[in-house]
């Protein structure tokens, strides 16, 4: 029987499973003992079972820039990312620290702006930012929470240190895949689980619902709180997730046309008449929420919703206006914000970031573009990225011109040789770069889902892990006890 | 319950029932056409009759103008351009099921999704029979799973309303198909060919065995009409469907403001009364085709009243409170 684990070659960055000397890292030892019983044929059978299960279950996402409504399964790899208990406790503390600071940052930016006066962030980067919503000035959300659900993208760098790549504080998606991946894994590969030592993930829907009730408007009783999920509709790429969460929490999944606002109160249209809604977990972007205030051509939102929100009669989760701190530009200033608001050193550092809007950074970017990864400041999904070391001279020149024409439209980061995890390519194990998106839920306090979504690049040359670019995902295991401790 | 969700569940019921009926009709037709061809006869009329019963002559003519060698069977079952083909109906049911994921169980969704996946995986090559057979089986499984795995709440009642209004409409069309199959001459009424055709109608409604249990004698138009239209106990008869629909509608609208439910309730009550008072021989005498046309029009009014009064109602009264 051919040993799948022999002959594996790592890339420039560290590997999560193998140490540089070829031995297993401690978190993977028990897994590897079990996995070694599989050969290539066994792997193929399990993979086929997993693909079929996801396809039959409709665990799919919709791809844009393709035929309308093409549904695909998210490629799923059966070798998990495994994080030791000790390492996870550091990540967990770092995430809670970061989200706490981000919420205070938002309250300040839309309030007194002490941070600008005290030099944490230049004023011109705030007021001119597309994510800054002047209508939110002076707003005080329930419990001071803006980023109720945060997805913080992490990578492990060349030195083995986890760093923040970006914060997602608007409508971060992917948590349904975390839950579905675990379910698939338990169904098709139960023999790989070390007995009883992987932290479960199925607590998430309960935590989410508790949070939605906790942030209800003042004067509403917990038992009578009506929370709903607002989706753009079944053609949205993340529709599966919206419906999944509604099902898991047992609350209504609504579209804009199901809601109406009357006298600054939000109601849903039911067969029995109108029913009051108190909390809206929206998966619709700010711009589309209310045609009276934002984009008038939007049919996804609800006329009058913003007014009801500002009147304090409905809580919107996540808050409107979070875009100001989760863009790639502001991200650069978050470590400083952590020191400023909490008086603590950041537990998880940022990836070094250069911001075109700062003259000194711009100069550096133009001079070193060939060594940097340039990204549009305000785009997601892995679109429009230029990877300096892989780009042709012509591509670099075009990128420089775009940068000069619109410096504030771009940021750059050094190319990260981030960590890889083995994936099976049909014949053998191959390294794939992977990031990690943990989810933090914040109501009266912050709770971190153990693990998160591990996304992997589509082949060993790629640095991009987004599903829209062909990337896949893995189950993420947080071990409960440190091994050998 | 959300009005949009109620409407979607109602339509899911309609599409599932429609798919099952079209599959059954096509299967019976297929068998009959094989028999006719084996006997050296012409089977084209059988398919044309089915197209006529489904009120789709014009659409079919247009499709043939574009693709001359398109057979009516192919068009009714597999065509993607025919919005009412079996394949399209299955696709519509599945996209509704996807929108309704949080209102149906995982098991129900998976069955519908599997049916859809099999329908899109080149069913042509396998032929019509395996596809229609799997549609019939799967729809039965879905309805059963729905009863056993989904909360018995208002949503289930709306799905049932959709199932029974569609079944009433389809049974009416099945009986009416006889009108489109011409007999060579008036003298053939009651003859072998006539009987054979009525037998086909019974098969299309899964009613042949029920007929044998109900009647000891020959298969005549009057008896078939009586069983399929007026029988209180046969689960596909018009009368059974209307009274069952009425019961589910009453349960679905228990908490709905009375004035919103009233128009549909009134239509249903009148329809139920008229079916209870009808006599099969008289109906056949006066013209079955006309009677069925009138019945279908009245069902359409029930549908409109449900849609306007409940699913799409503008809640002005509630706002005034």
Give tens-digit pLDDT for B207-248.
Answer: 999 999 999 888 988 999 999 999 999 999 999 999 999 999
pLDDT at A249 over 50: yes
Q: Mind telling me how many Å the CA of A274 is from chain B's nearest CA?
A: 6
- Residue A156 has a pLDDT of 97
DSSP B85: S
Give dist(CA A277, CA A315) in Å, integer: 9
Decide if A56 and B154 are in contact by the 8 Å CB cutoff: no
| H or E stretch at B316 | helix B316-320
Closest in A239, A262, A271 to B3, CB measured: A271
Q: Which of A119-128, A447-456, B17-26 has the lowest mean pLDDT?
A: A119-128
Residue A406 has pLDDT above 60, yes or no: yes
Confidence of residue A63 (pLDDT cuts 50, 70, 90): low
Q: Please, which pLDDT band fits residue A62 given cuts at 50, 70 and 90?
A: low
Q: What is the pLDDT of residue A466?
A: 78
Tell me which of A68-82, A112-126, A172-186 is least confident. Answer: A68-82
Residue with more model confidence, B18 or B182: B18
Q: Categorize the per-residue pLDDT at B320 as very low, low, confident or very high, splitting at 50, 70 and 90.
A: very low
**Minimum-distance CB partner of A243 among B4, B102, B311:** B102
CB contact under 8 A, A258 and B113: no
- Tell me the mean pLDDT in the region A441-469: 90
Q: Find which of B315, B316, B317, B321 to mutate to test the A interface (most A CBs within 10 Å of its CB).
A: B315
Residue A66 pLDDT > 60:
no
A408 has pLDDT over 90: no
From B1, B110, B154, residue closest to A57, measured CB to CB: B110
State percent of chain A over pLDDT 90. 75
Tell me which chain B residues have a C-beta less than 8 angstroms from the C-beta of A243.
98-99, 101-102
List chain B domain ranges: 1-150, 152-313
* Predicted pLDDT of residue A461: 87
pLDDT of residue A69: 52
Nearest-CB residue to B114 (from A56, A257, A268) = A56
Average pLDDT, chain B: 89
Give the pLDDT score at A16. 97
Task: Flag if A274 and B255 touch (Cβ within 8 Å).
Answer: no
> 């997602």: which residue's tokens?
A168
| pLDDT above 60 for B122 | no
Q: What pLDDT was estimated at residue A68?
A: 45
Distances in Å between the Cα of B250 and the Cα atoms of A96, A98, B154 are 52, 55, 10
Interface confidence, given as ipTM, is: 0.76
The mean-pLDDT minimum among A54-68, B12-26, B124-138 falls in A54-68
Least confident of A1-5, A164-168, A414-418, B236-240: A1-5
In a domain, A377, yes or no: yes
CA atoms within 13 A on the CB side of A399: 30
B37-91 tens-digit pLDDT: 887 777 777 888 888 888 888 999 999 898 888 888 888 988 888 888 999 999 9
Chain B segment 158-217 residues within 8 A of A by beta carbon are: none
| Rounded Cα distance, A304 and A313, in Å | 12
Q: What percent of chain B has pLDDT over 70?
A: 96
When pLDDT is averaged across residues A386-410 and rounded to a whole number, the result is 92
Q: What is the pLDDT of residue A6?
A: 82
Per the domain annotation, does A265 fall within a domain?
no
Of A298-302, A458-462, B16-20, B39-43, which range is least confident?
B39-43
The domain of A373 spans 354-414
Percent of chain A's residues with pLDDT above 70: 95
In a domain, A375, yes or no: yes
Residue A77 near residue A471, CB atoms below 8 Å: no
pLDDT in tens, A334-369: 999 999 999 999 999 999 999 998 898 999 999 999
Q: How far apart are CA A82 and CA A88, in angstroms?
A: 10
Choice between A465 and B169, residue whose per-residue pLDDT is larger = B169
pLDDT of residue B177: 85
With an 8 Å Cβ cutoff, are B102 and A247 in contact? Answer: yes
Provide the CATH number for the domain around residue A403: 3.30.1490.270
Please indicate if any CB of chain A lies within 8 Å of the CB of B257. Answer: yes
Kindly report the average pLDDT of chain A as a whole number: 91
Chain A within 8 Å of B264 (Cβ-Cβ)? no
In chain B, residues with a C-beta closer than 8 Å to the C-beta of A239 are 98
Higher pLDDT pick, A3 / A113 = A113
Residue B194 CA: distances (Å) to CA of B17, B27, B217: 28, 20, 15
Are B228 and B204 contacting, i.e. CB atoms less than 8 angstroms apart?
no
Q: Is B150 on the interface with A (CB under 8 A)?
A: no
Q: Residues A253-286: pLDDT tens digits? A: 999 999 999 999 999 999 988 999 999 999 999 9
What is the pTM assigned to this prediction?
Answer: 0.85
From CA A434, how far away is CA A29, in angstroms rounded? 20
In tens, the pLDDT along B259-280 reads 999 999 999 999 999 999 999 9
Residue A74's pLDDT is 82
> What does the alpha-carbon distance between residue A205 and residue A182 come to, in Å, rounded to a whole number?
14
Q: For the ranges A96-110, A302-316, A386-400, B116-130, which has the lowest average pLDDT?
A: B116-130
Q: For chain A, what is the domain count?
A: 1
Q: Which among A243, A247, A274 has CB closest to B315?
A: A274
Counting beta carbons within 10 angstroms of the beta carbon of residue A427, is it exposed (0 to 12), middle (13 to 18) or buried (19 or more)? Answer: exposed
A395 or A56, which is more confident: A395
| Contacts with A274 from chain B: Cβ below 8 Å | 315, 318-319
pLDDT at residue B315 in the model: 66
């Amino acid at each position: 029987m051919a040993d799948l684990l022999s002959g594996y070659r790592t890339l420039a960055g560290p590997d999560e499973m193998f140490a540089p000397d070829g031995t297993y890292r401690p978190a993977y030892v028990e897994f590897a003992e079990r996995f070694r019983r599989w050969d290539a044929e066994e792997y193929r059978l399990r993979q086929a079972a997993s693909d079929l299960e996801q396809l039959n279950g409709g665990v799919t996402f919709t791809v844009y820039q393709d035929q309308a409504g093409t549904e695909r399964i998210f490629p799923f790899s059966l070798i998990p990312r495994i994080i030791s208990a000790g390492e996870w406790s550091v990540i967990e503390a770092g995430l809670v620290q970061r989200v706490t600071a981000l919420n205070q940052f938002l309250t300040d930016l839309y309030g007194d702006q002490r941070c600008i006066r005290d030099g944490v962030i230049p004023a011109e980067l705030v007021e001119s930012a597309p994510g800054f919503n002047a209508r939110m000035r002076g707003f005080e959300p329930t419990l001071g929470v803006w980023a109720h659900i945060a997805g913080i993208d992490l990578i492990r760098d060349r030195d083995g240190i986890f760093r923040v790549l970006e914060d997602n504080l608007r409508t971060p998606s992917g948590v349904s895949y975390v839950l579905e991946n675990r379910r698939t894994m338990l169904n098709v590969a139960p023999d790989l689980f070390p007995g009883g030592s992987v932290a479960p993930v199925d607590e998430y829907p309960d935590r989410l619902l508790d949070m939605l009730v906790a942030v209800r408007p003042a004067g509403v009783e917990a038992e009578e709180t009506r929370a709903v999920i607002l989706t753009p509709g079944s053609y949205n790429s993340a529709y599966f997730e919206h419906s999944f969460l509604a099902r898991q929490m047992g609350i209504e999944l609504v579209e804009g046309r199901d809601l109406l606002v009357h006298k600054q109160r939000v109601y849903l249209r039911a067969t029995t008449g109108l029913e009051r809604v108190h909390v809206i977990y929206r998966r619709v972007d700010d711009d589309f929420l209310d045609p009276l205030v934002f984009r008038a051509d939007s049919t996804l939102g609800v006329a009058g919703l913003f007014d009801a929100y500002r009147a304090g009669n409905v809580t919107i989760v996540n808050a409107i206006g979070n875009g100001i701190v989760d863009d790639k530009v502001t991200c650069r200033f978050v470590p400083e914000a952590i020191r400023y608001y909490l008086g603590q050193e950041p537990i998880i550092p940022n990836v070094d970031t250069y911001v075109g809007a700062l003259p000194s950074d711009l100069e550096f970017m133009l001079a070193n573009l060939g060594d940097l990864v340039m990204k549009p400041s305000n785009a997601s999904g892995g679109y429009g990225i230029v990877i300096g070391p892989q780009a042709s001279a012509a591509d670099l020149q075009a990128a420089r011109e775009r940068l000069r024409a619109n410096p504030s439209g771009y940021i750059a980061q050094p190319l990260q040789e981030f960590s890889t995890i083995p994936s099976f390519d049909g014949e053998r194990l191959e390294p794939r770069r992977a990031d990690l998106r943990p989810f933090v839920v914040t109501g009266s306090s912050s709770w971190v889902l153990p693990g998160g979504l591990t996304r992997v690049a589509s082949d060993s040359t790629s640095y991009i892990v987004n599903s829209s670019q062909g990337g896949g995902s893995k189950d993420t295991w947080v071990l409960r006890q440190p091994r050998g401790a | 319950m959300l009005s949009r969700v109620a409407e979607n569940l109602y339509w899911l019921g309609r599409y599932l029932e429609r798919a099952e009926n079209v599959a059954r009709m096509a299967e019976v037709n297929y068998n009959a056409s094989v028999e006719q061809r084996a006997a050296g006869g012409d089977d084209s009329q059988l398919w044309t009759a089915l197209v006529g019963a489904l009120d789709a002559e014009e659409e079919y003519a247009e499709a043939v103008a574009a693709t001359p060698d398109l057979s009516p069977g192919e068009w009714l079952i597999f065509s993607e351009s025919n919005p009412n083909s079996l394949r399209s109906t299955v696709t519509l049911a599945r996209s509704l099921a996807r929108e309704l994921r949080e209102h149906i169980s995982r098991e129900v969704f998976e069955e519908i999704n599997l049916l859809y996946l099999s329908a899109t995986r080149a069913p042509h090559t396998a032929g019509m029979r395996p596809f229609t057979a799997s549609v019939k089986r799967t729809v039965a499984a879905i309805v059963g799973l729905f009863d056993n795995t989904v909360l018995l709440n208002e949503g289930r009642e709306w799905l049932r309303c959709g199932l029974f209004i569609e079944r009433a409409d389809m049974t009416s069309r099945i009986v009416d198909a006889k009108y489109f199959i011409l007999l060579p001459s008036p003298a053939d009424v009651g003859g072998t060919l006539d009987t054979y055709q009525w037998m086909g109608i019974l098969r299309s409604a899964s009613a042949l065995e029920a007929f044998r249990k109900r009647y000891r004698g020959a298969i005549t138009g009057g008896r078939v009409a009586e069983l399929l239209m007026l029988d209180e106990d046969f689960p596909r008869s018009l009368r059974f469907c209307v009274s069952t629909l009425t019961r589910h509608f009453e349960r679905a609208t228990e908490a709905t403001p009375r004035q919103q439910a009233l128009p549909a309730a009134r239509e249903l009550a009148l329809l139920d009364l008229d079916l209870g008072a009808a006599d099969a021989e008289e109906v056949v005498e006066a013209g079955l085709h006309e009677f069925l046309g009138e019945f279908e029009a009245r069902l359409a009014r029930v549908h409109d009243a449900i849609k306007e009064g409940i699913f799409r109602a503008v809640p002005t009264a509630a706002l005034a409170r």
